[in-house]
């Protein structure tokens, strides 16, 4: 069976895995799975009803970090994790900072930034305080020379390309301040503007976002 990436193309975590698969040249299919659907069949495949998840010949794997590691081990050619244990640990460290300490914190603003919700003043203050601290910590680790972990394109880039611009947008829109300003997010992401895989993902993200917004507003 062909590996199946399940989720939707507007999702930053979905796109992290999609870029990994495309960059590695792994054959895969996509299955459109929206969230907000706790149908038992979805929960059987992804117990938190989150996307992305992978359907593999061995069974399903949820959580993008676990999926990414499965892909690296199962398809070792064109590795996106360094072979050296310390260098690999530094890439994993960057991934945790990006996802646990930046993306998950700023995610609290997405409702207002992208879906017409309203973040309370308390939420805004909490996010601002936490994100200021966490971005400063990430800035100490990230190299951006030209890739997040240094001179090689790694899994940390597959995540950063999608998480960082989203975080900037959410901050600017909700807090009216770019809390990631000390990071070269614009210059960093611009270097991938001509990458055919990134271009394909961005085009599919745009199309899928339009469908998602129409579904949310009850138009489709």
Ligand X SMILES: N[C@@H](CCC(=O)N[C@@H](CS)C(=O)NCC(=O)O)C(=O)O
Residues forming the site for ligand X (CB under 6 A): 11-13, 35, 49-51, 63-65
Q: Are the C-beta atoms of residues 30 and 4 closer than 8 Å to each other?
A: yes
Both tokens of 172, joined, read 């600017």
- Phi first, then psi, for residue 7 (nearest 5°) are 150, -150
Beta bridge partners of 4: 29, 55
Spatial distance between the Cα atoms of 105 and 137, rounded to a whole number of angstroms = 14
For tokens 């939707």, the residue is: 8
Q: Looking at beta carbons only, is 53 or 153 nearer to ligand X? A: 53
Instruction: CB nearer to ligand X: give 51 or 142.
Output: 51
Q: Which two tokens stand for residue 79?
A: 């590795």
Of residues 42 and 149, the one with the C-beta less far from ligand X: 42
> Closest approach of Cβ 212 to ligand X, in Å?
10
Q: How far is CA 110 from the centre of its chain?
A: 14
Bridge partners for 58 per DSSP = none
Closest approach of ligand X to the CB of residue 84, in Å:
25
Angle in degrees, 0-180, between the axes of helices 155-170 and 64-74, rounded to the nearest 10: 160
Nearer to ligand X, 42 or 198 (CB): 42
Shortest CB 200 distance to ligand X, Å: 19
CB of 14 to ligand X, least distance (A): 7
Give min distance, CB of 66 to ligand X, in A. Answer: 8
Helix H or strand E segment including 7: strand 3-7
Q: What one-character DSSP code corresponds to residue 152? A: S
Q: For ligand X, which is the closer residue by CB, 96 or 181?
A: 96
Cβ-based nearer residue to ligand X, 62 or 174:
62
Nearer to ligand X, 95 or 149 (CB): 95
85-96 vs 155-170: helix axis angle to the nearest 10?
A: 20
CB of 13 to ligand X, least distance (A): 4
DSSP 45-79: HSTT--S-EEEETTEEEESHHHHHHHHHHHS-SS-
Q: Least Å distance between CB 16 and ligand X?
A: 8
């Amino acid at each position: 069976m062909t590996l199946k990436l399940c989720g939707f193309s507007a999702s930053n975590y979905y796109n992290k895995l999609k870029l990994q698969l495309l960059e590695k040249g792994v054959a895969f299919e996509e299955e459109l799975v929206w969230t907000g659907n706790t149908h038992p069949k979805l929960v059987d495949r992804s117990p938190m009803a989150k996307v992305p998840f992978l359907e593999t010949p061995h069974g399903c794997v949820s959580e993008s970090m676990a999926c990414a590691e499965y892909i690296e081990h199962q398809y070792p050619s064109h590795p996106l994790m360094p072979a050296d244990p310390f260098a690999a640990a530094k890439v994993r460290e960057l991934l945790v900072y990006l996802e646990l300490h930046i993306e998950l914190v700023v995610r609290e603003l997405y409702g207002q930034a992208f879906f017409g919700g309203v973040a309370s003043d308390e939420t805004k203050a909490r996010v601002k305080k936490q994100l200021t601290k966490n971005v400063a910590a990430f800035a100490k680790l990230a190299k951006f020379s030209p890739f997040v972990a240094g001179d090689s394109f790694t899994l940390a880039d597959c995540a950063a390309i999608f998480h960082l611009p989203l975080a900037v947008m959410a901050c600017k829109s909700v807090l009216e301040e770019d809390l990631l300003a000390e990071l070269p997010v614009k210059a960093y992401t611009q270097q991938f503007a001509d990458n055919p895989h990134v271009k394909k993902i961005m085009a599919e993200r745009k199309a899928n976002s339009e469908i998602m917004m129409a579904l949310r507003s009850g138009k489709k």
